[in-house]
Structure 1
Amino acid sequence: MSQIKSILLAFRPKTLTAALVPCLAGTALVKAMGLSWDGAVLFYALAAAFLIQIGTNFVNDAVDFKKGADTEKRIGPQRITQAGILSAGKVMALGTVFFALAILCGIPLVIKGGPVIVAIGLASVAMGYAYTAGPFPLAYLGLGDLFVILFFGLLAVMGIVFLNTGTWLTEAFVLGLQIGLHATVLIAINNLRDRETDKLVNKKTLAVRGGVKFSRWEIATLCFAPFLLNLYWWFEGYKIAAVLSLFALPLAVKVTKNIFKTEPSAAYNKFLAQSAGLHLVFGILISIGFMIG
């Protein structure tokens, strides 16, 4: 495998739906409300979100290797630091570059949205770094799931709606919660798969703290709760969005069924891809529902 290909795979492209979906769904919600949306906001928000997620992935790659969480016993996909393709220092430097690029892409958003966007942007970059690095690494304290709900769900959707409307809306909160819950399925499956190796290095994820049974029920809740929240859209009059996104329900059933019948193992790599599909399909369907309804 070439070094360039390895670096591109280190972006973790199958999980980048976590950055894509909230931007698309938030923009679709703005249109559904009969308000104008700014294409430049969508472009720069997407760019910043992708760059922050990729930067977070690189920092995670380097720090997990240095702390002993990623070794030859790892059952997840190969990491470039673990495989010796790049040193931890170089991988950390790449992460810093992506964070810096994210800040540059955020400048037009700051000009449009003002100080509150500065706060959200800087917090997003800082928390991306602090996910596994720094004195209080979120993933090692069991706070990674909350981080994803907050930054790849609530703040991502509410932020892009605010940039288009200048207002913080309840509708954006509900949509952000739905998107964030599905995005968190990815990290919950990842942590359940890596539970035993994480335990050895004192990485206290929710899977380590709560155990396998807890994690399975957490994943089931994260999968199905967004569909229950569709009741909000039904009663608010966005009935097409509420109904259309239900066509993603079989994917939620499939992911949950697989997690409950399979012990944590390399098979979870496939389930991780399925959960990314659930996140993407739900997000696209609800966005289409908003656009046409």
Structure 2
Amino acid sequence: MATPAQWIEGARPRTLPAAIAPVLVGTGAAGYLDAFVWWKALLALGVGLALQIGVNYANDYSDGIRGTDENRVGPLRLVGSKVATPRQVKTAAFTCFGVGAVLGIVLCATSSWWLLVVGAASLVGAWFYTGGKKPYGYRALGEVSVFLFFGLVAVLGTTYVQAEKLSWTAVAGAVAIGAIACALLVANNLRDIPTDTVTGKRTLAVVLGAGRSRRLYASLVILAFLLAIVSALATPWTLLALIALPLGFRAVKVVVSDAVGPALIPVLKDTGLTELVYAIGLAIGLALGG
């Protein structure tokens, strides 16, 4: 039996900013439109966290039963390390998906029912990332999914359920957050290129190779900060997002220095912190601008 600490580690806390950041930016964009609704923001946060943790457990389960995680470098994997059974981890994943679905239904009931379609697509995307017979995460489409669901859908959905309309600043924020979330996945997959190649996991990093993956990571982080500067055309307060620049620079510096294996593990933490701090700054800036 896995201990509570191991279950927490298996939930991959370093990835949780990818769920929190979009809600912060989406709520800030709603504030920019003078439409902030605190309890809807909390419901959106609950949905995001439940889906993120569910995805992490589902990934642990699917990679574990395929043997992908047996010789990996990085944090604990519950199934791969055999501290929990595949059935236990699969149950944890679907429990999280269930919680996210319930919270999402409540949120849709207070806004627009057509959002249920978006929510259903998110759940399907979460499972088939590494689940099923032909997981798209094994076909170099993981970054596309992350950008779509943890960038565009999460940010714009959070804004829409509160304001029932969107702005170009919300779209810019969604693209920026999606870019950093993609960078987080690129860093993770860059570290795992040797083991993923052996096990047949065809991630985007495997397809591009280490060199181009490093350049892609840097480009995604730079894009996010450029969008904060562009958003200053609407309100200069969005420049508050640049407080995350030192964190982002530190992560990029490690990635482009040809670091490999365990040396890339701190990059995950720094990228997650970059996304979270960026989101806090941008959300405050958008709200003040409104």
Query: TM-score per shorter chain, which class?
Result: over 0.9
Deviation at 1:184, TM superposition (A): 1.4
Aligned partners of 2:47 and 2:134: how far apart in 1? 24
Amino acid at match of 2:190: L
Q: Structure 1 pair 136/167, CA: closer, same or farther in 2 (3 Å)?
A: farther
> Is residue 85 from structure 1 mapped to residue 83 from structure 2 by the alignment?
yes
Structure 2 residue 280 is matched with structure 1 residue 284: yes
Please say if residues 67 and 80 of structure 2, whose CA atoms lie closer than 8 Å, have aligned partners that are also in contact: no
- Which is worse superposed, 120-129 or 167-176? 167-176
- Residue 32 of structure 1 deviates from its aligned partner by 2.0
Conservation of the 8 A alpha-carbon contact between 1:244 and 1:286: yes
Partner residue, 2:111:
113
Structure 1 counterpart of 2:20, which letter? Answer: L
2:222 is matched with which residue? 224
Following superposition, the deviation at residue 183 of structure 1 comes to 1.2
Residues 232-291 of structure 1 deviation map (CA, whole Å, 9 limit, x = unaligned): 31222x1111x2212222222211110111332111111111111111111111112123
Q: Report the Cα offset of residue 2 of structure 1.
A: 6.0
Q: Is the contact between residue 189 and residue 268 of structure 1 (CA under 8 Å) also seen in structure 2? A: yes
Q: 2:7: which partner in 1?
A: 7
TM-score when scaled to structure 2? Answer: 0.96
Cα RMSD of the aligned pairs, angstroms, is 1.4
Q: Which residue of 2 aligns with 1:29?
A: 29
Amino acid at match of 2:271: S
Are positions 1:102 and 2:100 aligned together?
yes
Residue 115 of structure 1 and its aligned partner are, at CA, apart by: 2.9
Pairing 1:240–2:242 present: no
* Amino acid in the other structure paired with 1:199: T
**1:203 match:** 201
Aligned identity (percent) is 31
Task: Tell me which residue corresponds to 1:252.
Answer: 248
Question: Which secondary structure does the structure 1 equivalent of 2:132 belong to?
Answer: coil
Q: How far, CA to CA, are the matches of 2:257 and 2:172 in structure 1? A: 31
- Matched with 1:17 is 17
What is the CA-CA distance between 1:152 and the residue it aligns to?
A: 0.5
* Residue type at the aligned position of 1:239: P
How far did residue 24 of structure 1 move?
1.2
Residue identity opposite 2:105 in structure 1? I
The answer to whether the aligner puts 1:39 opposite 2:34 as a matched pair is no
Q: 1:148, 1:183 within 8 Å by CA — same for their partners in 2? A: yes
Partners of 2:41 and 2:162 within 8 A in 1? no
Tell me, in whole angstroms, the C-alpha distance in 2 between the residues paired with 1:128 and 1:284.
Answer: 25
Per-residue CA deviation, residues 110-131 of structure 1 (Å, 9 max, x unaligned), is 1022232101111111111011
Q: Distance in 2 between matches of 1:31 and 1:90?
A: 41
Deviation by residue 1:17-64 (Cα, 9 ceiling, x = unmatched) = 11111111111121123x222122111111111001111100100111
Number of aligned pairs? 289
Give the Å deviation of 1:292.
2.7
Range moving further from structure 2, 247-256 or 137-146: 247-256
**CA offsets, 1:69-122, max 9 Å, x none?**
101x21111111111111112111110111011111112111022232101111
Match of 1:161 in 2: 159
Cα distance in 1 for residues equivalent to 2:244 and 2:122: 29
> Whole-Å Cα distance in 2 between the matches of residues 289 and 136 of structure 1?
42
**How far, CA to CA, are the matches of 1:174 and 1:135 in structure 2?**
35
In 2, are the aligned partners of 1:62 and 1:91 still within 8 Å (CA)?
A: yes
State the secondary structure of the residue aligned to 2:256.
Answer: helix
Contact 2:186-2:205 within 8 A present in 1 as well: yes
2:173 is aligned with what amino acid? L
Structure 1 segments (4+ residues) deviating >6 Å: none
Q: Is the 8 A contact 1:158 1:169 kept in 2?
A: no
Q: Structure 1: which amino acid aligns with 2:237?
A: I
User: Does 1:261 pair with 2:257?
Assistant: yes
Write the distance in 2 (CA, Å) between the matches of 1:115 and 1:283.
Answer: 28
